[in-house]
Amino acid sequence: MNNLKKQDHSIEISPHNHIPINSIINANCLEVLPQISSNSIDLTITSPPYDNLRDYQGFHFNFDLLAQELFRVIKPGGIIVWIIGDSTINGSETGSSFKQALGFISKGFKLHDTMIYQKSGFAFPSKTRYHQIFEYMFVFSKGKPKTFNPLIDRPNKSQYTFSKKRRKKDGTISHKDDTTRIKVNEYGMRFNIWRYKTGRGHTTTDAIAYEHPALFPEALAKDHILSWSNEGDLILDPLNGAGTTTKMAYMLNRRFIGIDISEKYCKIALERLNLIKERLSSRFPKYIPHVIKFEMV
Ligand SMILES: C[S@@+](CC[C@H](N)C(=O)[O-])C[C@H]1O[C@@H](n2cnc3c(N)ncnc32)[C@H](O)[C@@H]1O
């Protein structure tokens, strides 16, 4: 494996990693990941190119190698959130999402949860099947998840429930006269289908981000970061696109590494960080995001 040459030396280098923290790295992630120490990443949130459904300037990636490297760099108990949908080719959905889910399991990950990201609209209308408004959010863990901060924001339908004593295992009611009511909290834990308003102005308010054809919503990245990591944790997006993951990591006081093969998208990701840098600099003065260009030597 060739070494990578860093052109910009002005940014913090982690003692544990051979690549800079809090940076957007313009390179093929398969060249950068081998430079990251094993067991160093707390959380990865990412979305791969879907069967070349969209035009990412012609860039591809090797799933098998990526999954293998991700397993190596993720900490024990760390999480990957893999957001993916299938395209339809010759009348059939490709099934890439399922194949990749099984691929991660074969590398050693546990499939911790199969979550759904439901959009408020569809991109490609179809005449022969129902409109496609969801993608998978596969949550993989390397062993037992070390962090879970559940989002408690689902309004409970009722303010009261009955005592559990009333219902027997076979479903019959044992104390028909037991009318004891228990007060429940106003909000309960979220279900695993997350709905987001999508489309211009909703996915993000950063107009420049829409130069990328396949953003996921900022709110989605935020919700996963809050759920599976703590402040100061290291978050990776190896297919960072216009930098939704890195922006939200920065905003939530997590450290981050974002990699994308497209220089254009890296510049957008950096600009989005710069848009919020002024606002956040008093909170996190140590964060100085840069685009780092790696070159093979
Ligand atoms: C679905 S997009 C990610 C969008 C991102 N989640 C966002 O909200 O902006 C996938 C990205 O993978 C990048 N990509 C494809 N192959 C790559 C590779 N080998 N290394 C790094 N990035 C790659 C593409 O340039 C594209 O921006």
Instruction: Tell me the three state secondary structure of residue 23.
Output: strand
Contacts of 229 (CB under 8 A, 6+ apart): 42, 43, 79, 147, 235, 254
Query: For position 276, what pLDDT does the model report?
Result: 86
Does 267 lie in the same domain as 243? Answer: yes
Going from the Cα of 242 to the center of ligand 1, the distance in angstroms, rounded, reads 8
Looking at the chain, which runs of residues are DSSP E strands?
4-6, 23-26, 41-46, 74-84, 88-89, 92-93, 110-118, 134-141, 154-155, 160-162, 181-183, 187-188, 193-195, 234-237, 255-260, 290-296
Going from the Cα of 201 to the center of ligand 1, the distance in angstroms, rounded, reads 21
- Is residue 56 within 6 Å of ligand 1 at its C-beta? yes
- Is residue 134 within 6 Å of ligand 1 at its C-beta? no
Report the alpha-carbon distance of residue 100 to residue 140 in Å, rounded. 11
* Higher-scoring residue by pLDDT: 62, 59: 62
Query: For position 150, what pLDDT does the model report?
Result: 97
Ligand 1 atom, smallest distance to 216 CA: 8
Report the alpha-carbon distance of residue 212 to residue 207 in Å, rounded. 10
Ligand 1 atom, smallest distance to 209 CA: 9
**32, two tokens:** 């950068």
Does 140 lie in the same domain as 117? Answer: yes
CA dist 159 → 177, 183, 184, 199 (Å): 20, 6, 5, 35
What average pLDDT is seen over the chain?
85
Residues in the chain: 297
Evaluate whether 195 touches 221 at the Cβ level (below 8 Å): no
Query: For position 174, what pLDDT does the model report?
Result: 66
pLDDT class of 95 with cuts at 50, 70, 90: very high
Does 125 lie in the same domain as 164? Answer: no
Does 218 lie in the same domain as 163? Answer: no
Report the alpha-carbon distance of residue 15 to residue 243 in Å, rounded. 24
Does 139 lie in the same domain as 48? Answer: yes
Q: 15-60 pLDDT, tens per residue?
A: 555 678 888 999 999 999 998 999 999 999 999 987 654 445 555 6
- Is residue 242 within 6 Å of ligand 1 at its C-beta? yes
Does 161 lie in the same domain as 87? Answer: no
Does 230 lie in the same domain as 83? Answer: yes
Residue after which a domain boundary falls, among 138, 168, 189: 189
- Is residue 214 within 6 Å of ligand 1 at its C-beta? yes
State which of 4, 33, 56, 263 you would mutate to test the pocket of ligand 1, scoring each by most atoms of that ligand within 8 A of its C-beta. Answer: 56
Going from the Cα of 28 to the center of ligand 1, the distance in angstroms, rounded, reads 10
Does 52 lie in the same domain as 32? Answer: yes
User: For the chain, what is the domain count?
Assistant: 2
Evaluate whether 112 touches 136 at the Cβ level (below 8 Å): no
pTM of the model: 0.87
State the residue range of the domain holding 137: 4-151+190-296
Residue after which a domain boundary falls, among 172, 189, 206: 189
Report the alpha-carbon distance of residue 115 to residue 83 in Å, rounded. 9
Ligand 1 atom, smallest distance to 238 CA: 21
DSSP code of residue 7: S
Residue after which a domain boundary falls, among 163, 189, 215: 189
- Is residue 204 within 6 Å of ligand 1 at its C-beta? no
Does 203 lie in the same domain as 111? Answer: yes
Going from the Cα of 249 to the center of ligand 1, the distance in angstroms, rounded, reads 17
Does 147 lie in the same domain as 281? Answer: yes
CATH of residue 247's domain is 3.40.50.150
